Structure 1
Amino acid sequence: MAHTPQIRIPATYMRGGTSKGVFFRLDDLPEAAQQPGEARDKLLLRVIGSPDPYGKHTDGMGGATSSTSKTVILSRSDSPDHDVDYLFGQVAIDKPFVDWSGNCGNLSAAVGPFAVSNGLVDPARIPENGEVAVRIWQANIGKTIVARVPITNGQVQETGDFELDGVTFPAAEVPVAFMDPADGGGAIFPTGNRVDDLKVPGVGTLKATLINAGIPTVFVNADEIGYTGTELQEAINGDPKALEMFETIRAHGAVKMGLITDPAEAADRQHTPKVAFVAPPASYTASSGKAVQAEDIDLLVRALSMGKLHHAMMGTAAVAIGTAAAIPGTLVNEAAGGGDRNSVHFGHPSGTLRVGAEATQENGEWTVKQAIMSRSARVLMEGWVRVPGDSF
């Protein structure tokens, strides 16, 4: 019996922030996958190794976690205001599903370096030494991101001494600004409220901040659901009842935010919204063994991604945290002690992170012009990925 041989596709495997994924130039994809649709999704699923009932991604490039089952498609932008168009696909691990509904804030830090190194930025804009502001159009959510990429001797500088909790080794710092991070309609709070009463069957009525900034996120108080905010992954990911509770909260939050009309639809929208819980500062030991002291942070945040507690913090969720912290009266702001602030330093399972955002109120509506945080990025491997030619 004859079998279709494998094909090879140019690709780069990159770490961005606390995530990593497979990066493609749009023009390098097979013709059938250069347009959105079934062929593209099947190709990316096969590249990552999904769906995998064993949950290991042994036969693909994925890492069997939400942080490492990611794909990126980049192309030179037609807009004079942007250098590169960035499309992000979150690949499910155990289902044949690619979620295109949101961005990856961590991998956003790798987009700029990739764009520079792969000729997607006008060479005239790249200094011999210094930094270049790469203007990124985030196509999933229709937003602008500006990544400041360090340049040494005309090349992207990847090595450095910037340390990021959740990443083992230091690297060069890449500041990333998420411009106008609210959703496309500009409504930071889709219900119009900074705090809502969220009715969750089997859980109760919870206070919740529902926010569209960076990525749609449902924030609840840790103590209302029986947690302290100092939990590490195993405390939740090893508890099926806890995971079911969080998914129920997420689904009903999605309905209240207007993202879906029925909680059952949440199963087909795994990437958004995120669900997170917050608490006032407390000391704890991070997953690396690092001691985090209460006096060194403003609050605690734990967030779930693709049904599991994240090992650190999603970049887009960090934008949501920074935005919510900057607006008095949200659960995030109150956990941080309330009042006006333009940055917040929060504790997560791997350590701490600082994110800045400035909020203003105009005609009763809250707006945030940008949220800023520092990440790092590095090429892990480049060349080709191979997939069976009949897999898409």
Structure 2
Amino acid sequence: MSNIPQIKIPATYIRGGTSKGVFFRQQDLPEAAQVPGAARDALLLRVIGSPDPYGKQTDGMGGATSSTSKTVILSKSSQPDHDVDYLFGQISIDKPFVDWSGNCGNLSAAVGSFAVSGGLVEASRIPQNGTVVVRIWQANISKTIIAHVPITNGEVQETGDFELDGVTFPAAEVQVEFMDPADGEGAMFPTGNLVDDLDVPGVGTLKVTMINAGIPTIFVNAEAIGYTGTELQDAINNDDKALAMFETIRAHGAVRMGLIDNIEEAAQRQHTPKIAFLAPPAEYTSSSGKQVTTDDIDLLVRALSMGKLHHAMMGTAAVAIGTAAAIPGTLVNLAAGGGERTAVRFGHPSGTLRVGAEATENNGEWSVVKAVMSRSARVLMEGWVRVPGDSF
């Protein structure tokens, strides 16, 4: 009978925005896991409790949802004029797979705080009281994120009265700026079009906006696929036929965006692209019982992550929403009423969110300098995680 002792690894369990994840400093990981590869992936899978055929992640730190099956590795930045390198791993729940293809916008709100408390930001830059600006290099997508972290009595302030729909309790506000959120080559619209006709077998030809901003995202009108845009999680996640339809649309959109070569590859790229459906403003009751009125929002958006409808909104998808809303003629912009705008308020299953973005057009090419939103973050537990010594 095997009896391999467990090892313990310094780690911190943090809520960032509407997500939770296990945060590590790279230097604290076992040597074999300090570099990309099979050992690192195996370790993170075991920490979170995947793959789990029961879908519960009972034997790990994961929470059995895409929002809570996440890991973060931070290190002193290798980039000039940055404080910290931020690497994000989205852990599959039921498969032995770590997706490194994109960022987590929600956990981005916790990166600055963890970098400060973890000694990854120069002490001379941290005020006794005030705000420290943490420049983050997002290593998955090679982008800069700027987090404005509140400091009280020389330490990160986590409590406060900022309320974020999708999070039960108030906390301190952390403003996050996603700089130049389009992809590395600047191809914000990979097909060159603001709106495309996407042929989806078994579904039909759909009008879609496909954008690389924050995270690659496919937007489709709710009405075109039989929805109103006011749906909550159970209306989608309890409908296997609907989930299969969304995955089919996502796979064909991924091919059209050039992210994969054929639809079969989509199963190994679960984190990106995202798929979202949208509609003009309408009244609805959020999952918390809060009434959302047409005065509160400019449009409705529902987004799926890792094959399920998200309970609120992914931070990176919010960047895509804000960016697309700022560009006249996209489906997002049209659902919000059209015209030029520098911010948009949208309704999601848990309530509302505001995100700002400024777009400019030059010789027919659109670009966005940055997208801005406010989130919050709070340390839930710190110490060590334990894994069997032969798990990686």
**Cross-structure match for 2:218:** 218
Distance 2:287 2:51 in 1: 28
Quote how far apart the aligned CAs of 1:314 are.
0.1
**Cross-structure match for 1:289:** 289
Distance 1:69 1:78 in 2: 27
**Cross-structure match for 1:44:** 44
**Cross-structure match for 1:376:** 376
Quote how far apart the aligned CAs of 1:363 are.
1.2
Distance 1:391 1:119 in 2: 29
**Cross-structure match for 1:307:** 307
- Mapping for residues 147-186 of structure 1, pairs under 5 Å: 147-186=147-186
**Cross-structure match for 1:337:** 337
SS at match of 2:41: helix
Quote how far apart the aligned CAs of 1:391 are.
0.5
**Cross-structure match for 1:143:** 143
- The answer to whether structure 1 residue 240 and structure 2 residue 244 are counterparts is no
SS at match of 1:103: coil
Quote how far apart the aligned CAs of 1:2 are.
4.4
- Mapping for residues 1-392 of structure 1, pairs under 5 Å: 1-392=1-392
Structure 2, gaps ≥5 residues long: none
SS at match of 2:67: coil
Distance 2:265 2:229 in 1: 28
Question: Residue by residue, what CA displacement relative to the aligned partner does 1:170-227 show, whole Å, maximum 9, x if unpaired?
Answer: 0000000000000011111000000000000000000000000000000000000000
Structure 1, gaps ≥5 residues long: none
Quote how far apart the aligned CAs of 1:296 are.
1.4
AA at the equivalent of 1:248: T
What is the aligned residue count? 392
Distance 1:29 1:188 in 2: 36
Distance 1:381 1:76 in 2: 22
Question: Residue by residue, what CA displacement relative to the aligned partner does 1:127-167 show, whole Å, maximum 9, x if unpaired?
Answer: 11110110000000000000000001110000000000000
The answer to whether the 8 Å contact 2:296/2:352 transfers is no
Question: Residue by residue, what CA displacement relative to the aligned partner does 1:266-304 show, whole Å, maximum 9, x if unpaired?
Answer: 000000000000100000000000000012100000000
Distance 1:294 1:201 in 2: 35
Question: Residue by residue, what CA displacement relative to the aligned partner does 1:84-132 show, whole Å, maximum 9, x if unpaired?
Answer: 0000000000000000000000000000000000100011111111101
Distance 1:2 1:220 in 2: 52
SS at match of 1:140: coil
Distance 1:238 1:294 in 2: 27
The answer to whether the 8 Å contact 2:342/2:358 transfers is yes
Distance 1:114 1:312 in 2: 23
Distance 2:77 2:227 in 1: 45
Please report the RMSD computed on the Cα atoms of aligned residues, expressed in angstroms: 0.5
Distance 2:57 2:209 in 1: 35
Question: Residue by residue, what CA displacement relative to the aligned partner does 1:244-267 show, whole Å, maximum 9, x if unpaired?
Answer: 000000000000000001011000
SS at match of 1:148: strand
Distance 2:2 2:231 in 1: 52
Distance 1:79 1:53 in 2: 40
Q: List structure 1 runs of 4+ shifted beyond 3 angstroms.
A: none
SS at match of 2:198: strand
AA at the equivalent of 2:222: A
SS at match of 2:12: strand
AA at the equivalent of 2:353: L
Quote how far apart the aligned CAs of 1:80 are.
3.0
AA at the equivalent of 2:279: A
Distance 2:67 2:78 in 1: 30
